Amino acid sequence: MKRWMMVIAVAGIAIFGAAAWFGWRNLRGIGPAIRPPAEDISKVLPSVAPAPATSESENITGLPLRLPPGFSISVFAKGLDKPRVLVRDPNGTLLVSDTDAGRVVALPDVDRDGVADRAVTVASGLDRPHGLAFRCADRCRLYIAETDQVAVWDYDAGALRAGSKKKIIDLPDNGDHFTRTILFLPPPDDDKLLISVGSDCNVCREDDARRAKILIANADGRGLRAFVSGLRNAVFMALHPATGKVWATEMGRDLLGDNLPPDEIDIIEDGKNYGWPICYGKNIHDTDFDKNVYVRNPCLEPFETPSYIDIPAHSAPLGLAFAPADGWPEEYRDDLLVAYHGSWNRSVPTGYKIVRARLDADGNFEGFEDFITGWLRDGGTALGRPVDILIDSGGVMYISDDKAGVIYRVTYGTR
């Protein structure tokens, strides 16, 4: 009996030690992701955009969030639960998926004062709704991607109501990554719908053929197939304004330390494999997971496609949007803005900001610079976590924040 008690004690100590080591290595920087904000950012930021700063020094005093000179930020809507994807309806009203609340919300600004007049529930009782898209052919319909399905709804833009739900695509509803994001391709393929479905694990060989892919289907849901594969969790997609190509943010796997693997921005092209689970970044072989001996290099074009742009590991890139052709300084034209949701498993937290990827006229990457910072605070807390970015043609930008429960409005100049 004593021997068994000793064995059990030693085993318990070993398990505790292993858990402590795992936590120290991977979770000691989790605070900003899980702790409540130190203060309510909707009470700190103004509800109407202040006069824009004219210098860098002016932009780092007074308010918690820092922007480049000439830009201002305010709170457009507050009191939401976990706002995620932003779209405009046919009348120009802003809609957002409020994921944990299981609803889609409209945020009209009828008097156009830069603050939502109210929050109107468009659809409710949903299973973690995320992706939103409108398609207007004979009439306008709202597409909503829930965890387990994509459905199309009749939409009344005047009443701000969706009804007559019709499921058109079944999706897997278990596993690690629950978000489903949708995007219609540009003409002449604007009847084709992309659906991003993440993996059901950190790193594994998937059993479900719909996982770790971007799928494509007709607007009625028929003809579902894989568009691209090898994407662990490409949560957001955007169309390049000049080429019409699909760009996507991709989250790399966890548990390889603070600096590996990089997160990614990928240019998505039909039929390509982006490498996960055996490759990451610029076609680097993940030998920690993949122990097989290959006849060929397992991470090699044209069989696997490398990332277009590498992002620091654990930044958790989500929403992305291209800078507008008008309303902003010329130097920003066609540059890419990316929301870094922020790390949960890096010893020193990273992300929690909006970053500008500078691109030349041909879309070649020239470097990163911070665009909005200040959400990450000292002491292991964060005021918020930016998610999606929507930029109107005139240059007004909206950002969802699923930690603070707000939508921000960013303007340039005196708008």
- Give the CA count within 13 Å in the CB-facing half-sphere of 336: 33
Nearest to 402 by CA among 117, 33, 133: 33
Question: Where is average pLDDT lowest: 32-46, 267-281, 286-300, 340-354?
Answer: 286-300
Rounded Cα distance between 96 and 100, Å, is 12
Model confidence at 17: pLDDT above 70 = no
* Residue 49 pLDDT class (50, 70, 90 cuts): low
Model confidence at 400: pLDDT above 50 = yes
* Residue 5 pLDDT class (50, 70, 90 cuts): low
* Residue 251 pLDDT class (50, 70, 90 cuts): very high
Rounded Cα distance between 177 and 186, Å, is 27
pLDDT at 16: 46
Look at the pTM and tell me if it is higher than 0.85. yes
Nearest to 170 by CA among 197, 189, 190, 134: 197
* Residue 63 pLDDT class (50, 70, 90 cuts): confident
Model confidence at 361: pLDDT above 60 = yes
Question: Where is average pLDDT lowest: 46-50, 94-98, 197-201, 262-266?
Answer: 46-50
Between 217 and 296, the higher pLDDT residue: 217
Question: Where is average pLDDT lowest: 66-75, 295-304, 384-393?
Answer: 295-304
* Residue 57 pLDDT class (50, 70, 90 cuts): very low
What are the C-alpha distances in Å from 107 to residues 79, 95, 98, 111, 368?
12, 6, 12, 12, 32
What are the C-alpha distances in Å from 203 to residues 19, 74, 175, 176, 199?
20, 39, 12, 10, 8
- Listing DSSP states for 123-181 in one string gives E-S-SS---EEEEESSSEEEEEEETTEEEEEEEETTTTEEEEEEEEEE----SS---EE
* Burial profile 327-363: b = 16 or more Cβ within 10 angstroms, e = fewer: bbeeebebbbbbbbbbbbbbbebbbbbbbbbebeeeb
Query: For 185-212, what is each residue's pLDDT tens digit?
Result: 999 999 999 999 999 999 999 999 999 9
Determine contact, residues 339/317, Cβ cutoff 8 Å.
Answer: yes
Show me where the domains of the chain are located.
35-123+230-412
What is the mean predicted confidence (pLDDT) over 325-332? 95
* Residue 298 pLDDT class (50, 70, 90 cuts): confident
Model confidence at 295: pLDDT above 70 = no
Question: Where is average pLDDT lowest: 27-31, 124-128, 355-359, 410-414?
Answer: 27-31
Determine contact, residues 186/239, Cβ cutoff 8 Å.
Answer: yes
Query: For 252-261, what is each residue's pLDDT tens digit?
Result: 999 999 999 9
User: Per CATH, the architecture of 35-123+230-412 is what?
Assistant: 6 Propeller (2.120)
Regarding beta strands 336-340 and 353-359, do their DSSP bridges make them parallel or antiparallel, or are they unpaired?
antiparallel
Determine contact, residues 281/313, Cβ cutoff 8 Å.
Answer: no
* Burial profile 205-232: b = 16 or more Cβ within 10 angstroms, e = fewer: ebeeebbbbbbbbebebeebebbbbbbb
CA dihedral defined by 373, 374, 376, 377, rounded to 10 degrees? Answer: 150
Question: Where is average pLDDT lowest: 4-13, 286-295, 372-381?
Answer: 4-13
Tokens linked to 247:
């760009």
* Residue 286 pLDDT class (50, 70, 90 cuts): very high
Query: Residue 10 is inside which H or E element, if any?
Result: helix 2-26
What is the mean predicted confidence (pLDDT) over 228-240? 98
pLDDT at 8: 55
Single-letter amino acid, residue 11: A
What is the mean predicted confidence (pLDDT) over 115-142? 96
Model confidence at 293: pLDDT above 70 = no
Determine contact, residues 128/99, Cβ cutoff 8 Å.
Answer: yes
Determine contact, residues 49/415, Cβ cutoff 8 Å.
Answer: yes
Question: Where is average pLDDT lowest: 23-27, 301-305, 361-365, 379-383?
Answer: 23-27
Model confidence at 18: pLDDT above 50 = no
Query: For 155-186, what is each residue's pLDDT tens digit?
Result: 999 999 999 999 999 999 988 999 999 999 99
Model confidence at 84: pLDDT above 80 = yes
Give percent above pLDDT 70 in the chain.
Answer: 88
Determine contact, residues 396/409, Cβ cutoff 8 Å.
Answer: yes
